[in-house]
Structure 1
């Protein structure tokens, strides 16, 4: 592996690890805590989280990792056959599909629906129940995918050639 590919792989491993930690926190205690408080407070808190998470640092980690994975996937595809290239391709695709695609197709539409409700309304309570029932399982998928991607990137670095 050339030095810049190794560096991009380290960056991707770090990004996948940071995303794994974020998703893990939501899967294991944040959403449970929000579900335990009054609905209007849970809705308001999640609306605030969804607004404030869209910042440059989060964008760098979430989107930068996706961009790095896209580059690594393309490079690795043309180097298939080596253990490191196979692992980098698998790690990259796992992040792109299990984190980015799932986020865009499953979690973001739920976030968008929650963003427009009045936290104190009956409709807001209905959207919140649906949100909790659907958002969290998809977050579990993102958690597992980002952890898997991290592990595969680490293994790729171990077997770099």
Structure 2
């Protein structure tokens, strides 16, 4: 029972994270890209501060812990699902969590430290250039990685069954 609950929660966390990054890629980032430099930088500062909340961390960090935990629970129990879960875990931890921690978070921290009030138009434009393109590229990487994670999990559910379900 705990194996199935952990697998369910891991899948939900990973799919919720994929939805978040996908929505950024297809709507939030293009919408923000249409804003002036000042408004863009202010908006990203506000978004980056607002996202640091328990609901975000529940899904984003939940997948970091629950996918490997579910993988471990399937080791020796169901070798086929173990390999699918290992692939999903590696994809998420490296491609989503790793990219976020190594790339997006440092950019967010740099942006957060900027004092936008009183900055010249040239400063604002330069800060935006240093932030927007790299941040969006990294978001694309983690969007693809999170979607691949969700696809691996979906394929696992479609093409395998719980080896001990009939026992």
Q: How far 1:79 sits from its partner (Å)?
A: 3.4
Q: Is the 8 A contact 1:31 1:136 kept in 2?
A: yes
| 1:152 maps onto 2:152 in alignment | yes
| 1:123 maps onto 2:127 in alignment | no
CA distance in 2, matches of 1:80, 1:155: 19
Q: How far 1:16 sits from its partner (Å)?
A: 1.3
CA distance in 2, matches of 1:88, 1:114: 35
Runs of 4+, deviation exceeding 6 Å? none
Query: Hey, what does 1:86 align to over in structure 2?
Result: 83
CA distance in 2, matches of 1:130, 1:84: 42
Please give the per-residue CA displacement for 1:95-146, whole angstroms capped at 9, x wherever unaligned: 1111111100011011111111123524343121121110111111111111
Aligned alpha-carbon RMSD (Å): 1.8
- For normalisation by structure 1, the TM-score amounts to 0.89
- Trace 1:127-146 onto structure 2 (pairs within 5 A): 127-146=127-146
Largest Rg, 1 or 2: 2
Q: How far 1:89 sits from its partner (Å)?
A: 0.8
Q: Is the 8 A contact 1:41 1:119 kept in 2?
A: no
- For normalisation by structure 2, the TM-score amounts to 0.86
